[in-house]
A and B are shown apart, each in its own frame.
Chain A
């Protein structure tokens, strides 16, 4: 075993209490390209063009399942041997593909050129290509709205799964209009949420009295919120480190909160936003009480099934820590190991602080050794990717496949019960089957 692969138990200098198992080795995770699958559903006039290999196209097809067939707003420009012969040729080819694409899909207002492992290894400068092609499309036909062309990396060498969304949103931040000098304080909710959840949160903000609310990403290219020193931003997703940094570069200030999973998580998240806007606590409680009550009622139905059950999360999306917090504090589950591909200590501080004493937290992965730990721990439920789920089931371990947690509506009061159901269902199934 090499030092690079040896695992190290590193105590953080910032909080002596938190021990994190750091591992390097084989990782069983998606790359950031996968983010396209839900990002393109959210941004209704955006197109995602991956510049990559046949492998990239194959991955998207495997991850997007049947979405491939509904005239999707994503595609891969597959690099072929002749593109590798010389760089100039490569740029000319890319121009040709993009022009053809924009001619075919005139409704597109934002085009993302998405970098992949192959495009990065051959040092194909997509940022430069985006500027060059973008200059030609500043204005559409007869002065109509043009096409904004941006570039980000979703490659496996740079990004893990949901980090693809982080990279994508980071490129949108410079595109946000600057707020007017002396503008009133505004709120930006950051992170892709299903429309139904986003609408619930916007209604709650309005009821709280926070009227000036924007969403990143916006559903349409022209609807990006303003940003500046009077902007407060609230993360709806835990995997947005780079986006947060870009927002802060433009003067925005983060509201610290746990992530909005479950009754208490959502209440704390909304309360943190209300506090930042100086809203009276009595009013806040009045507004969130009904939703919180509904969520608690829904969760009570699942408590008998989940209480006392031991759960392990394998690293996947960075949602692991807030979800473990939710399951432990609101449903009485016992997190054994909580693995995350990357741990942003500042953004997750509120959730980390609420995790039960003795939870093993791991960052990164050496999949074989981690599976050895799963076999030794024998948790009641293992949250993992689809490459591992059936093999673990065959070993007699119940699993919950993790991707569903990224695609399904799980945030907020009215999804708390649905979120608990996702974890309860495999256990219930294990108990009902008599074969």
Chain B
């Protein structure tokens, strides 16, 4: 058993719901107990969908167990097909139904329903949401794709592609698709199909008509893309165009595969991020330590942007989806950090605290961890909350995505000028500690780094020194308080570490500045 308060991913049937809800003309019959309908509100509330997800839950109760859960399932299937008239029916079990072994696939197959039935085997006790979404999409493509459909001859037509992976409840999927369509349009490439988002079973039937595939989100689209490559010899582009560099690479790869001129899309005048990042105000961003955690795709992309495009120092990199751990390991090696592969939020919290970053990029969970630690944070990956399904256009992909990312990540940081002012006027009444950090959400005051003034203050954390606790002299402590709050924690930690290594009994003013010199970058 795993003790968990927070889970980065839901169960695999939620992944299946994300695919079903993204599509048109599909219905999902889920063998599940009463209560599993809670998942509907992820779509109606967080994503603000204006229709219920196309899911019928059998909602069996205790009194049904052992007698008629199977007939309950068949009745629900009949009613759902009659009421919704889907072009395809997905059938599967949630975690509880998996245990009662009713075999939804067999039960549905015996019913001679008037539409294709796609059974889903989603092992709830081993796998999670992203895997469930990938498996569901793969099964849909496998069952519905007409293997006799092939691209029309290339003479006299534009190249055409499928965009694979966008789904319901996907972080910025709506706007990423729009941005990628814009790029492809500049290149003179048609989009044959976007799937699962917005696709119908009939659309999936013709998936073989595209020249090649673009996998926007490997977590969801890769499984299907591999099968398509095998079955239709459709190659796949797997470079994820998040960040300026990655977008350029993506454009070059797509153009090469399609046989078009990449310059048509490369010289996009709306790409402002490179200049914003080179302008002098951004000098203060140099070397800022950033900790990155999320799904592997977004985390790896973020690390590249942080390192190459903003001049940050990546001080931590990790993902919660084990299936893509390899990508994280490769990237972590490149930045010289230890890869963090875990779905335990407490481990993530410990790693963030130990790395002492100046900016955290992560999920909704890291937003809360950062708030608790008093560190600025921006969201780069699911799971996210309602504010990250914005009304405005805000892609992560393409050149506009890079513009959005620059604004989003830099916003929570103290801007260069503000930082400068804080240092110069740190005793000024408006910049003093009492005023709190202006860049964090108003009510979250950072934890005081020190106890109220005393002659010798014992530190809260266990000191590394063997001789017992390290005390700060009153003078050193007063000096520490003058250091701006957003670097004070780090200064305190560094000083104590230094004093411990030197075997000092107390921390004086000297120690503070010796440590500063010792750790100077």
- Per-residue CB proximity of A49-80 to B under 8 Å, as 1/0? 00101110111011100101100101111111
Kindly state whether residue B11 has any CB partner on chain A within 8 Å.
Answer: yes
| A156 x B5 contact (CB < 8 A) | no
* Residues of B close to A160: CB separation below 8 A: 34-35
A58 touches B11 (CB 8 A): yes
Contacting B at CB under 8 A, from A87-105, are 90, 93-94, 96-97, 100-101
- Any chain B CB within 8 A of the CB of A390? yes
> B37 near A: Cβ within 8 Å?
yes
Q: Knowing A368-B83, A387-B40 are in contact, say whether A53-B35 is a contact too (CB < 8 A).
A: no
Residue of A nearest to B56 (CB): A26
Contact A69 B2 (CB under 8 A): no
Known contacts: A368-B83, A391-B51. The answer to whether A33 contacts B35 by CB under 8 A is: yes
- Minimum CB–CB distance from A370 to chain B (whole Å) comes to 13
Task: List residues of chain A with CB within 8 A of the CB of B37.
Answer: 26-29, 387
Rounded to whole Å, the gap between the CB of A311 and the closest CB of chain B is 21
Q: Is B1 an interface residue (CB 8 A)?
A: yes
Q: Are B35 and A30 in contact (CB under 8 A)?
A: yes
A244 at the interface (CB under 8 A from B): no
Measured as residues with beta carbon below 8 angstroms from the partner, the interface class of chain A is: 35 or more
Q: Given A79-B1, A390-B44, A391-B52, verify A5-B75 contact (CB < 8 Å).
A: yes
Give A84 to B124 CA distance when docked, in angstroms: 12
CB distance from B321 to the nearest CB of A (A): 13
Binary A-proximity of B47-68 (CB < 8 A = 1, otherwise 0): 0111110001111111001001
**Interfacial chain B residues near A84, Cβ < 8 Å:** 99, 125
- Using Cβ atoms and an 8 Å threshold, which residues of chain B touch A96? 1
Cross-chain contact A2 with B1 (CB below 8 angstroms): no
A55 touches B94 (CB 8 A): yes
Is the C-beta of B45 less than 8 angstroms from some C-beta in chain A?
A: yes
Knowing A29-B35, A69-B368 are in contact, say whether A53-B10 is a contact too (CB < 8 A): no
Interface hub of A31, A84, A97, A390 (most chain B Cβ within 10 A): A390
Does any Cβ of B come within 8 Å of A394's Cβ? yes
Tell me the interface secondary structure of chain B in the complex.
Answer: mixed
* Cβ-defined contact, A68 with B33, below 8 A: no
Q: What is the CB-to-nearest-CB distance from B35 to chain A, in angstroms, rounded to a whole number?
A: 3
Query: For the complex, what is the distance from the CA of A1 to the CA of B72, rounded to whole Å?
Result: 11
Which residue on chain B has the smallest CB distance to residue A77? Answer: B1
Which of A115-123, A192-200, A224-232 binds B?
A: A115-123
Verify if A260 is at the interface (C-beta below 8 Å from B).
no
| CB pair B44 A391 closer than 8 Å | yes
The answer to whether the Cβ of B14 comes within 8 Å of any Cβ in the partner chain is yes
A161 closest partner in B (C-beta): B35
Name which residue of chain A comes closest to B71, CB basis. A2
**Is B85's beta carbon under 8 Å from chain A?**
no
Whether A206 sits at the interface, judged by CB under 8 Å, is no
CA distance A69 to B348 in the complex (A): 14
Q: Identify the A interface with B (CB < 8 A).
A: 1-2, 4-5, 25-34, 51, 53-55, 57-59, 61-63, 66, 68-69, 72, 74-81, 83-84, 90, 93-94, 96-97, 100-101, 117-118, 120-122, 155-158, 160, 368, 385-391, 393-394
19 A-B residue pairs with CB within 8 Å: A2-B71, A26-B59, A28-B40, A31-B33, A33-B35, A57-B4, A57-B5, A69-B368, A74-B5, A78-B3, A90-B1, A155-B33, A155-B35, A156-B33, A156-B59, A158-B62, A160-B35, A368-B79, A391-B44
Given contacts A63-B38, A390-B50, 9 further A-B contacts (CB under 8 A): A30-B38, A54-B124, A58-B14, A68-B6, A77-B2, A80-B125, A157-B60, A157-B62, A158-B61
